[in-house]
Amino acid sequence: MFGKKTEKQEKSPVESEERVKEQEEPITGESETASESDNDSDAQEQGGAETADIAELQQAFAAEQAAREQAEKKSLELKEQLVRTMADFENFRKRQIRDRELMERHANERAMEDFLPIVDHLEMALSKTDEEAKKNPFVQGIQLIYTQFIDAFAKHGMTPIDAKGEKFDPQIHEALTQIPSVDVPEGVVIDQFRRGWKIGDYLVRAAQVTVSSGAPAPETPSPKETSSEEQDVREAQ
């Protein structure tokens, strides 16, 4: 009896451990499943957070890119506007200089034109004096005044146009008459009535001139004169 009882007592701890293991095994499996489920949930939450962060970064990058492109576009527009403004200012400055020079030239022209008749009369008076009269102090005074006028004209850029002996130029000459001449070729100025003047390339007053039409054509006898001469010859014979 005691031997059987002892064997039963010896087997009972092993059986107890097996029963404990059997009871513990399902519990361990359930905990592992729950842990894996929690890990998956955490991973999904972490992945979702990372995806949200990436999307937010992409949006921020796109917004920054758009702002940079807008700033570059605005900078380019301002640069083009600055270039146009500088070009407009340069054109305005040149136009102001040109207008001022034109105004000054017109002012000089009007002033000089008012003195031209006086100079014409002085030239006419001096041209009528002979060598003996030029020694007269009065005539010398007139010559001095005339020289001062010419110097004043030259100071303001005004130069005379002396046309006598020059080829006729309709741009600076005004032909009053045209006469034949054996000595002066056709189209050349024979005489000048009034001197012309200009400022630079601008014509203030054209020179009034007489132009040669060339040598006169030889006269051909008329038929009536020819028959009269032949009759005189016959009568003489």
Q: Residue 3: pLDDT above 50?
A: no
Mean predicted confidence (pLDDT) in 126-154: 89
d(CA 34, CA 28) in angstroms, rounded, equals 10
Question: pTM value?
Answer: 0.51
d(CA 221, CA 225) in angstroms, rounded, equals 6
Structural domain count, the chain: 1
Strand partners, 208: 174, 194
The H or E element spanning position 112 is helix 2-127
Mean predicted confidence (pLDDT) in 5-34: 50
d(CA 43, CA 46) in angstroms, rounded, equals 5
Half-sphere exposure of residue 140, counting CA atoms within 13 Å on the CB side? 4
3-state secondary structure 23-64: HHHHHHHHHHHHHHHHHHHHHHHHHHHHHHHHHHHHHHHHHH
pLDDT of res. 7: 45
pLDDT of res. 99: 84
Q: Residue 156: pLDDT above 90?
A: no
Strand partners, 209: 175, 192
Q: Mean pLDDT in the chain?
A: 78
208 lies in some domain:
yes
28 lies in some domain:
no
98 lies in some domain:
no
Neighbours of 233 (CB within 10 A): 9
137 lies in some domain:
no
Domain range for 205 is 160-217
198 lies in some domain:
yes
44 lies in some domain:
no
pLDDT band for position 148 (cuts 50, 70, 90): very high
64 lies in some domain:
no
Q: What pLDDT digit, counting tens, does each position of 28-54 carry?
A: 455 555 555 555 566 566 666 677 778
pLDDT of res. 175: 93
3-state SS assignment for residue 190: strand
3-state SS assignment for residue 177: strand
Q: What pLDDT digit, counting tens, does each position of 107-133 carry?
A: 777 778 889 999 999 998 888 888 888
202 lies in some domain:
yes
* CATH code assigned at 164: 2.30.22.10
Q: What pLDDT digit, counting tens, does each position of 157-212 carry?
A: 889 998 999 999 999 999 999 999 888 999 999 999 999 999 888 888 999 999 99
pLDDT of res. 2: 44
d(CA 70, CA 15) in angstroms, rounded, equals 82
